[in-house]
């Protein structure tokens, strides 16, 4: 009886019998899903930024990596080249207007245009009671974490429009939903990126540019080392801290055709940590 039902299913729905073959083809296609695309990723020589560059490059994109230090750029470029990824590297302090313009202009001149922008650069010069934070701390954090993200977007959008559209991804944080103790100003800056995503998405949709955001939980990077504590792990459904590549893959997805109907959204990648504004 069961054999009869299976046979009838295959006769009426022949696609059902081709699942394995199609899945293999889809997997192969995903490895070249961003072929011909050019992606700028800021702060991309380590941690989440480097993982994003790897994920985009593995899918065929030419990635442009940057960091404030030339030695870090050289190391990242060598690593990506060893993985057969098309890569260009340069120094860039996103808090500096001349550096921002130089990064975009160099990308257009050497790579022919821009299709993807991933804003990953962030700083946190303060750790303590938020009431002890100074104006200088707020200026530094907001300049790099929020203003530069917008100003870089402003620079790349005309080039995305020339390519018929593209994708912008901001890297926020779980702290943008639930401010972390001793990280008050940083948490506020990450909440601002959630709002920036929602504000830009409808404005840029008419130019076929999608704007999304990723909010990582506690990821094992040098930047988040102070948070590798058991008290945070207890809040997770998946009882471990995340890996940079687990964020890089989500970023690459948001830049792909698979996410072509997604804009104005933030994907939380937190291992099950509660996230709600």
User: Is 186 a catalytic site residue?
Assistant: yes
Residue 171 bridge partners (DSSP): 214
Neighbour-count burial of 20, counting CB atoms closer than 10 A to its CB (0-12 exposed, 13-18 middle, 19+ buried) = exposed
Among residues 126, 170, 177, 186, the one annotated as catalytic is: 186
Distance CA 72, CA 76 (A): 6
Task: Give the DSSP letter string of 216-248.
Answer: E-SBSSSTTGGG--HHHHTT-SSSS-B-HHHHH
| Nearest alpha carbon to residue 155 among 227, 114, 104, 189 | 104
Residue 97 bridge partners (DSSP): none
Residue 89 bridge partners (DSSP): 65
| Structure tokens that stand for 240 in this block | 């471990």
Active site residues: 186
């Amino acid at each position: 009886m069961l054999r009869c039902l299976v046979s009838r299913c295959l006769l009426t729905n022949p696609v059902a019998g081709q699942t394995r073959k199609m899945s293999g083809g889809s997997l192969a296609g995903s490895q070249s899903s961003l072929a011909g695309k050019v992606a700028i990723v800021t702060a991309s020589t380590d941690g989440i930024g480097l993982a994003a560059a790897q994920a985009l490059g593995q899918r065929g994109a030419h990635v442009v990596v940057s960091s404030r230090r030339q030695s870090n750029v050289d190391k990242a470029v060598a690593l990506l080249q060893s993985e057969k990824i098309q890569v260009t590297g340069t120094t860039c302090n996103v808090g500096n207007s001349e550096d921002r313009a130089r990064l975009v202009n160099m990308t257009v001149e050497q790579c022919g245009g821009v299709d993807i922008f991933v804003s990953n650069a962030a700083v946190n010069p303060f750790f303590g009671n938020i009431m002890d934070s100074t104006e200088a701390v707020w200026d530094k954090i907001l300049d790099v974490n929020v203003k530069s993200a917008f100003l870089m977007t402003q620079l790349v959008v005309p080039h995305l429009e020339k390519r018929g559209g593209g994708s912008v991804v901001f890297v926020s944080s779980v702290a943008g939903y639930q401010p972390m103790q001793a990280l008050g100003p940083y948490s506020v800056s990450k909440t601002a990126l959630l709002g920036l995503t929602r504000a830009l998405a409808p404005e840029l949709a008419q130019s076929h540019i999608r704007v999304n955001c990723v909010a990582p939980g506690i990821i094992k990077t040098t930047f988040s080392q102070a948070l590798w504590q058991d008290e945070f792990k207890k809040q997770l459904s998946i009882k471990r801290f995340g890996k940079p590549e687990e964020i890089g893959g989500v970023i690459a997805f948001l830049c792909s055709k698979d996410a072509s109907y997604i804009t104005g959204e933030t994907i939380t990648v937190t291992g099950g940590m509660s996230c709600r504004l």
